[in-house]
Structure 1
Amino acid sequence: MPSESESVTFAEFSRSWLSTWAIVRLKASGYREYESIVRLHLIPHFGELTLDEVTVYRIQVYIADKIALGLAPRSVKNHVIVLKRILGTAVDYGLLRENPVDKVASPRIERSEMSFLTPEQIRQLIEATPASWRLLIALPALCGLRKGEILALEFDDIDTEAKTISITKSMRGGIVSTPKTSSSVATLSLPESLLPLIEHRRRQAGGHKLVFCKSDGSPLSDATPNRILARALIKAGLPTIRFHDLRHSWAVAHLRTGTDIKTLAYLGRWSSTATLLETYAHVLPAIGGDAVDRLDRMISRQE
């Protein structure tokens, strides 16, 4: 690793950073994402500059240029996060006095309206899904599993007698890693309605260990669940949603049926109730109104 910021180019340092810092600290899926951002975006823009020439102004111009080219603000913000980590390491190594990213105005990200299906729509969706793939749709919609957790799921993780499912790993790009956070690792109760779907899927799997796989036992691509969902939505005549919105639908249904925040955070394996509250804040006012009405009716009957 070169030692002087005046002679070390961003390209040199960032490549070294990937091979010595990122490869050690990041999950395989995270490393691939960081490497792609560095190679395709950051090095082409900053590569020939020395570290001390990567200034606040130049970073701000980079952000504005990417936004002007039509890149989504969230994607640009991910670039800034990677850049901040790279230059933060340069500060740790004594190659920079301060991190210029700390003074940059990051792109504003508008919170989009959350899409979700009602319980009745979920029932219609599962019925419209081919029998072999109904479990794929039911797991996020009835248990709140994330797509990566579903793709990594093995039959050994499911105990139909105890009616439990163990979440211990996730998959992205065919590579297995640990789940999103430590709180994501858990053993969950299985709804009774999923047991026939599990047994049907077991017969379809041909003895392979992955619950969802190709005919040769290899993992499904990350896009396969999206395509299965899209076709089922069209067949059922339902609005378009993302695969992750099935998990949102599960959470909203729980909230609307009275599941308390602490219990839902445990079932959904969120890292904190604060995260859950922030995500579903728009749902809570209506639920609060229902609670007020229930108390009002109860008191009124006692008068």
Structure 2
Amino acid sequence: MANKKGHRRFGSVRQRKSGRWQARYIGPDGLVHVAPHTFPGKRDAEQWLSVVEAEIIRGDWMNPELGRVPFSEFGANWIRQRKVSQRTREEHASVWRNHIEPFLGRFRVNEVTPEIIRAWRADLLDKGRSEDRTAKAYRLARSMFATAVDDGRIKRNPCRIKGADQHRTPERPHASVDEVYRLADVVPGRYRFLVLLAAFSGLRWGELIALRRRDIDRKTMIVRVARRVAQLKDGEMSIGPTKSAAGVRTVALPKFLAEDLTHHLAEFAEGGRDGLLFVGKRGGVLRRGNFHRETGWTKTVVKAGLPKGFHFHDLRHTGNQMAAEAGATTRELMQRMGQSSVRAALIYQHATSVRDQQIADELNARVERHRQGASEEDDGPEEGTAGVLAPVG
């Protein structure tokens, strides 16, 4: 806006040698800020200054210098400063290095638009990246830009593609009770209870191998999950916190596991209250590779009557599926699984054939009781005779 002498009250504009116009102003921080680009005409530059002035008046102004940091630098710092486990940091670094930084790293933080995000995601899929990997990359980039919003570097998160954070995961197989016990019967004895506990508790591999004697109460048959073991890329076994805060939990075990637990504690677990519940043949923290070699997993699952591609993690799916079929609510499944969001729990809430049959049987029983009651009323006392209406039970 200009005063009577023709000078602007806020900011200033000047014409460059190129013929284009430049706008600058003094921000709330007392520093001079220049528009990120020049304008074709004087009026265009003045209009831009009017928008900036309005933002300052409303309290919406953002220091443009904060958003001019290269995204390659911002993303690398984000990973380094994030408070996560070492295993998660390695996973983030891998996704960043292979799927995000090569495309988005050449932009400044405030230059990335929804259009650029759409082009980046399409590029990943065109290059043959799986939906799973692409969704992981999108979620990580979205989290980075969310931090940029919180830091006052940008106003809105450019990651706004509906459904891009999700992917269709092929439904994994799960075992029946008979198949679980057949598998437990054919693995080496020291791993029998590991198979049973994985199937009937739904615990993750890393949570299982981190369990200690003191984490299981034999009287109440309750297991306390307080930590997990993660194998890093250099082979180091890192003992740390659970995958999320929701992972710290207690899980009630079925009583029929008591006998196998007692035998396992006596024969295979480390001694002392702090002794590991599961150890390898040579002692120490159980490694997944050693477990697969010692059990001959690929052939063993087939011998137990399970599909060739059945993974140990599918025992967790089995436990969650059984809990859902037993009538667990979404909230109860979340607690049992150690999940902080409902998305994973809802996977097991779809109508299963077992649960669906239970619903049909209950509907059948209700209708039969109703029809039986109606029939008894029709066959009641004739007119003129005394009768007593039986209470509906």
Alignment of 1:1-303 (within 5 A): 4=65, 7-20=68-81, 22=82, 24=83, 26-103=84-161, 106=164, 109-173=167-231, 174-175=237-238, 176-178=240-242, 180-182=244-246, 184-189=248-253, 191-200=255-264, 202-207=266-271, 209-214=275-280, 217-222=283-288, 228=295, 229-239=297-307, 240-256=309-325, 258-261=326-329, 265=333, 267-268=336-337, 276-283=345-352, 284-296=355-367
Question: Following TM superposition, by how much is the alpha carbon of 1:162 offset from its aligned partner in structure 2, in angstroms?
Answer: 4.2
Give the counterpart letter for 1:285 in structure 2.
D
Aligned residues: 298
Deviation at 1:249, TM superposition (A): 2.2
Query: SS of 2:277's equivalent?
Result: coil
> In structure 1, what is the Cα distance between the partners aligned to 2:340 and 2:130?
27
TM-score scaled to structure 2, two decimals? 0.64
C-alpha distance in structure 1 between counterparts of 2:163 and 2:270, whole Å = 53
Provide runs of 4+ in structure 1 moved above 4 Å: 222-229, 266-275, 296-303
After superposition, the Cα gap between the structure-2 partners of 1:289 and 1:235, relative to the gap in structure 1 and judged at 3 Å, is: same
The CA deviation at 1:121 is 1.5
| 3-state SS, counterpart of residue 76 of structure 1 | helix
Query: Is the Cα–Cα contact under 8 Å of residues 56 and 100 in structure 1 kept in the other structure?
Result: yes
Q: What SS does the corresponding residue of 2:160 show, helix, strand or coil? A: helix
Paired residues of 2:138 and 2:165 also in contact (CA < 8 A): no
Aligned-pair distance for 1:200?
3.0
Deviation at 1:253, TM superposition (A): 3.4
Q: For residues 155 and 290 of structure 1, do their structure 2 counterparts lie closer, same or farther at Cα, with a shift above 3 Å needed?
A: same
RMSD: 3.4
Shift of 1:183: 6.5
Shift of 1:124: 1.3
CA distance in 2, matches of 1:86, 1:300: 62
Which structure has the larger Rg over C-alpha atoms? 2
CA distance in 2, matches of 1:65, 1:262: 36
Q: Are the counterparts in 2 of residues 60 and 104 from structure 1 also a CA contact under 8 Å?
A: no
Give the corresponding residue for 2:38. Answer: none
Counterpart CA distance in 2 for 1:187 and 1:163 is 9
C-alpha displacement of 1:107: 6.6
- Percent identity of the aligned residues? 23
Is the deviation greater in 56-65 or in 192-201?
A: 192-201
| Shift of residue 139, structure 1, vs aligned partner | 0.6
In structure 1, the gaps of 5 or more residues are none
Deviations 1:124-148 (A, max 9, x none): 1111221111111111212222222
TM-score by length of 1: 0.81
> Equivalents in 1 of 2:127, 2:99: separation in Å?
13
Shift of 1:269: 5.3
How far apart, in 2, do the equivalents of 1:259 and 1:107 lie?
Answer: 29
Name the CA shift for 1:271/1:98 in 2 (closer, same or farther; >3 Å). Answer: closer
